[in-house]
């Protein structure tokens, strides 16, 4: 067996289930789940219809590179959204959701010839758990870059020792961030890219929340824009990950794409061909419809904004919590043990959230998720309001 499997930590939801085991919450309150990051808004009808219409195309094997029309729709969206031009031939690849892509990309990128110096995959801390698993299974050392209120939830790249940069092969960025909601600026990403040039590593920018942001006039930038601004005309060293799961509320469609440096996309495509991860043709055709339409994404965004507007006035008098720049989480500082908080909230209010420490790792500077919890605003507006009221009751009770 692959011994590296033993390195994998229990997934946060497994730990959460253990934390809740044996507790009987009040039966009079219906359960509200705010622990998972699964969008719950109704999927756009036109995407469902496109999928239905195309089901007859299940009769043939899809190719790993995807349909030219799919790649073109992704490239066209990138151009509309970020004002960058990518050649759909060689710079864009469909993936079955970004989760599998974030994992498999690292398997394809991390070198296998090292004997003395273990490669590093650097990532923000807290982080989307796949980054760490991908690094460990590729034989790399995950290095955690703490994101805290003190650094506005942005990794301090200048604090990373040169020796770590020298071993670094992949740097993960996540913008807007899960769970912090922090958006990285173009300047930040340009600096990251300058470091990548200097120390010869690749940047994997997880931008799956790029369409969920607070300010309609300030959409989060992409690493691709930073590459263009740094004169990387072929997006050298850069790969971005985009998804329909959050943008279009279709997490079950399993549809996303990666885009960027053709010198990285080419070996990654070879890896995927062997791995066997082609996207079914009906999924691609429904995805084209979704990527071609921006109006439904704006409606989706407005729904999240409404939730923040309704929930925050209830919570802010009792909790240190702010509206994030992007994504759909609250990441409050609860100033107490996050496991006990989560457990007691469930026990008294039948409401499930996630302890922040489950999403981060211990470092010499501590666990940056400690004393924080992640609250997902994925439920319908009324349910989110009810949940906020329950949290307030919980905090106000003696
Ligand atoms: C930061 C981040 N990246 C990637 C994903 C994976 O999304 P998908 O595989 O649905 O594209 C998630 C899902 O929650 C996420 O939070």
Mean pLDDT of 29-57: 95
The pLDDT of residue 53:
97
Q: For 231-270, what is each residue's pLDDT tens digit?
A: 999 999 999 999 999 999 999 999 999 999 999 999 999 9
342 CA → ligand 1 middle, Å? 23
The pLDDT of residue 106:
98
171 CA → ligand 1 middle, Å? 17
Mean pLDDT of 14-22: 96
Closest to 255 (Cα-Cα) out of 101, 96, 387, 42: 96
The pLDDT of residue 379:
93
Q: Exposed, middle or buried: residue 58 (CB in 10 Å: 0-12, 13-18, 19+)?
A: exposed
The pLDDT of residue 398:
80
Distance CA 259, CA 72 (A): 11
pLDDT greater than 90 at residue 192: yes
SS3 95: strand
The pLDDT of residue 216:
95
For residues 250 and 244, the answer to whether their CB atoms sit within 8 Å is yes
The pLDDT of residue 30:
97
Closest to 105 (Cα-Cα) out of 228, 275, 347: 275
Distance CA 227, CA 257 (A): 18
pLDDT greater than 80 at residue 114: no
pLDDT greater than 90 at residue 116: no
The pLDDT of residue 88:
98
Average pLDDT over the chain, rounded to whole? 97
Q: For 338-389, what is each residue's pLDDT tens digit?
A: 999 999 999 999 999 999 999 999 999 999 999 999 999 999 999 999 999 9
206 CA → ligand 1 middle, Å? 8
Confidence at 113, pLDDT banded by 50, 70, 90: confident
Whether 104 is in the pocket of ligand 1, judged by its Cβ within 6 Å, is no
The pLDDT of residue 80:
98
Whether 98 is in the pocket of ligand 1, judged by its Cβ within 6 Å, is yes
For residues 137 and 129, the answer to whether their CB atoms sit within 8 Å is no
Confidence at 225, pLDDT banded by 50, 70, 90: very high
186 CA → ligand 1 middle, Å? 22
Q: For 295-308, what is each residue's pLDDT tens digit?
A: 999 999 999 999 99
The pLDDT of residue 164:
97
């Amino acid at each position: 067996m692959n011994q590296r499997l033993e390195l994998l930590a229990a997934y946060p939801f497994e730990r959460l289930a253990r934390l809740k085991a044996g507790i009987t919450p009040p039966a009079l309150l219906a359960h509200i789940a705010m622990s998972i990051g699964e969008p719950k808004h109704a999927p756009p009808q036109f995407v469902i219809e496109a999928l239905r219409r195309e089901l007859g195309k299940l009769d043939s094997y899809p190719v790993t590179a995807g349909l030219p029309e799919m790649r073109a729709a992704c490239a066209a969206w990138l151009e509309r959204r970020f004002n960058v031009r990518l050649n759909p031939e060689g710079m864009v690849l469909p993936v079955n959701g970004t989760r599998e892509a974030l994992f498999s990309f690292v398997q394809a990128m991390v070198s296998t010839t090292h004997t003395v110096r273990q490669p590093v995959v650097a990532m923000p801390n807290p982080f989307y758990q796949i980054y760490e698993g991908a690094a460990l299974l590729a034989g790399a050392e995950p290095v955690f870059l703490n994101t805290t209120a003190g650094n506005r939830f942005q990794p301090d790249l200048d604090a990373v020792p040169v020796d770590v940069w020298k071993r670094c092969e992949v740097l993960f960025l996540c913008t807007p961030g899960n769970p912090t909601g922090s958006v990285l600026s173009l300047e930040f990403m340009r600096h990251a890219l300058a470091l990548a040039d200097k120390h010869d590593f690749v940047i994997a920018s997880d931008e799956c929340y790029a369409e969920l942001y607070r300010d309609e006039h300030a959409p989060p930038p992409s690493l691709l824009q930073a590459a263009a601004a740094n004169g990387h005309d072929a997006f050298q060293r850069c790969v971005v990950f985009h998804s329909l799961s959050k943008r279009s509320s279709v997490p079950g469609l399993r549809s996303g794409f990666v885009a960027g440096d053709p010198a990285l996309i080419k070996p990654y495509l070879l890896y995927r061909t062997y791995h066997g991860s082609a996207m079914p043709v009906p999924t691609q055709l429904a995805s084209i419809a979704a990527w071609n339409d921006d109006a439904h994404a704006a409606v989706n965004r407005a729904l999240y904004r409404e939730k923040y507007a309704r929930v925050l006035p209830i919570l802010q008098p009792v909790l240190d919590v702010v509206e994030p720049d992007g994504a759909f989480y609250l990441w409050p500082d609860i100033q107490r043990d996050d496991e006990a908080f989560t457990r007691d909230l469930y026990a008294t209010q039948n409401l499930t959230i996630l302890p922040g420490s489950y999403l981060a790792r211990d470092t010499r500077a501590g666990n940056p998720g400690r004393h924080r919890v992640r609250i997902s605003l994925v439920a319908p507006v009324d349910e989110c309001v009810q949940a906020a009221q329950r949290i307030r009751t919980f905090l106000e009770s003696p």
